């Protein structure tokens, strides 16, 4: 089967990169559908108040996920590509770094809860979920299979894990189990993935017990990844700070309803990372060989991000009342908030594409500066708007925060041309030019 051509990318490049990521895409779409169905059923079973209490616990874990993962994943793939014979040392070093980071996150999460506790969410829920930082250390195996262009194994583990997890949550609903069991089930999801990665890796002569730790390599990887760690923390802040502020300002029922808004709106956010992962190697090849083609391909990538995200935003905007009426009637009053929040996805798509450009051009520090800027804007707007407008104020703050973060590069002379290119895509200049040529 031939892959449909995308303007600016030759057929050979597309087929080369999509053969691997296509399987990963299938796995993520399958996981998305499973998560969506089960998430809706859990939200309906728990009701607004309990769903708000539950989501309040998961937010703290999200805040510290960037620290727990150390932003190492893309560097693991790069190291394995460059030094395939050093596999056991690279994976072992990365694994132990993630274990140590996960352990360090437990007291940090406790401190964050003490400084700004989620009203109504008991700390022991948060403590149970704190184990996730350690449980996800075996995700380094995911990076290994990416480096070997064997994403089908990742897909198999992820889909199998999602199906088992879904079965457990459906049983909890059927048995009418209390909320704490859903908290344990959420943490168990990550343990399932780690078990799946472990047994998948152990095949064909590979052995996790051959992994070793190298302090020099650890230092090298941390020096490369620290800007991405800070950037990840900032992104987590402006993606999730609104949810906890709603819980503390407007109450757990409002937080529970807003959790469904985020679930429907952010379900598509995996798509730009899959597309960028597929297409950016071809863009980097053009950067090396043909600067003009490099910039043309970047513009085409920004165009693609807009062409994908705007239709989704339009459909969800008008369909949101129907979505809630069919899927979660109890939360139906959140539909107008979803119609606003979904537009932030456009800036998520553009930001994902531009983020790869910043890494390619060694502007890594700028990634956390712009993320910090977006987080500050979002927090200030939340403080101003949530007391007056509830979760609609949070959606507006999120939308503006994403936009400010994505287009922050317009303020930097060296990156301003990229900001202008994204604006051209957002204003459909390429589409207009093609239409006029015809």
User: Using one digit for the tens of pLDDT, what is the confidence trace for 408-433?
Assistant: 988 888 888 888 988 888 887 665 55
Question: Which two tokens mark 171?
Answer: 């049983």
Q: Which residues is 9 bridged to in the sheet?
A: 6
What is d(CA 326, CA 62) in angstroms, rounded to the nearest whole number? 29
Q: Does 240 score more than 80 pLDDT?
A: no
Confidence category of residue 301, pLDDT binned at 50, 70, 90: confident
Give the count of beta carbons closer than 10 Å to the beta carbon of residue 114: 9
**The dihedral formed by the CA atoms of 84, 85, 87 and 89, expressed in degrees to the nearest 10:** -130
What is d(CA 219, CA 148) in angstroms, rounded to the nearest whole number? 24
Whole-model pTM: value is 0.74
Which residue do the tokens 């973060």 mark?
405
Q: What is the pLDDT of residue 288?
A: 66
Q: φ and ψ at 6, to 5 degrees?
A: -115, 130
- Please name the helix (run of DSSP H) or strand (run of DSSP E) that holds residue 316, with its range, or none: helix 291-327
Q: Which residues is 6 bridged to in the sheet?
A: 9
Query: Domain spans of the chain?
Result: 11-437
Q: What is the pLDDT of residue 11?
A: 45
Q: What is the pLDDT of residue 168?
A: 92
> Is residue 9 helix, strand or coil?
strand
Q: What is the 3-state secondary structure (H, E, C) of 147-209?
A: HCCCHHHHHHHHHHHHHHHHHHHHHHHHCCCCHHHHHHHHHHHHHHHHHHHHHHHCCCCCCHH
> Is residue 367 helix, strand or coil?
helix
């Amino acid at each position: 089967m031939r892959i449909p051509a995308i303007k600016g990318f030759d057929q050979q490049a597309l087929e080369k990169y999509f053969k691997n990521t296509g399987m990963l895409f299938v796995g993520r779409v399958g996981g998305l559908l499973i998560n969506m169905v089960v998430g809706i059923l859990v939200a309906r079973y728990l009701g607004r108040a309990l769903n708000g209490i539950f989501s309040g616990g998961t937010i703290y874990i999200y805040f510290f996920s960037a620290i727990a993962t150390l932003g190492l994943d893309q560097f693991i793939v790069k190291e394995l590509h460059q030094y395939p014979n050093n596999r056991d040392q690279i994976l072992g070093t990365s694994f132990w770094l993630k274990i140590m980071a996960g352990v360090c996150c437990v007291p940090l999460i406790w401190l964050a809860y003490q400084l700004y506790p989620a009203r109504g969410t008991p700390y022991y829920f948060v403590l149970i979920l704190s184990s996730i930082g350690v449980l996800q250390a075996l995700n380094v195996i995911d990076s290994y299979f990416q480096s070997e262009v064997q994403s089908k194994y990742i897909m198999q583990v992820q889909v199998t894990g999602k199906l088992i997890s879904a079965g457990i949550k459906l049983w909890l609903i059927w048995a009418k189990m209390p909320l704490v069991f859903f908290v344990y089930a959420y943490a168990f999801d990550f343990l399932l993935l780690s078990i799946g990665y472990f047994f998948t890796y152990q095949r064909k002569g590979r052995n996790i017990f051959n992994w070793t730790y190298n302090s020099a390599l650890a230092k090298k990887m941390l020096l490369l990844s620290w800007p991405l760690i800070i950037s990840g923390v900032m992104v987590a802040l402006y993606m999730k700070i609104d949810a906890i502020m709603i819980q503390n300002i407007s109450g757990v029922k409002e937080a529970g309803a807003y959790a469904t808004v985020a679930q429907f709106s952010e379900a598509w956010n995996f798509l730009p990372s899959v597309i960028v992962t597929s297409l950016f190697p071809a863009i980097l090849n053009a950067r090396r060989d043909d600067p003009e083609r490099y910039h043309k391909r970047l513009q085409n990538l920004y165009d693609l991000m807009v062409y994908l995200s705007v239709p989704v935003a339009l459909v969800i905007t008008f369909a949101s009342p129907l979505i809630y009426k069919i899927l979660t009637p109890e939360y139906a009053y959140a539909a107008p908030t979803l119609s606003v929040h979904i537009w932030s996805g456009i800036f998520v798509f553009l930001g994902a594409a531009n983020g790869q450009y910043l890494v390619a051009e060694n502007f890594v520090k700028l990634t956390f500066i712009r993320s910090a800027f977006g987080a500050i804007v979002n927090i200030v707007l939340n403080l101003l708007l949530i007391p007056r407008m509830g979760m609609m104020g949070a959606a507006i703050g999120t939308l503006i925060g994403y936009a400010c973060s994505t287009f922050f590069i317009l303020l930097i002379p060296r990156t301003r041309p990229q900001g202008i290119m994204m604006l051209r895509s957002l204003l459909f200049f390429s589409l207009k030019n093609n239409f006029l040529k015809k």
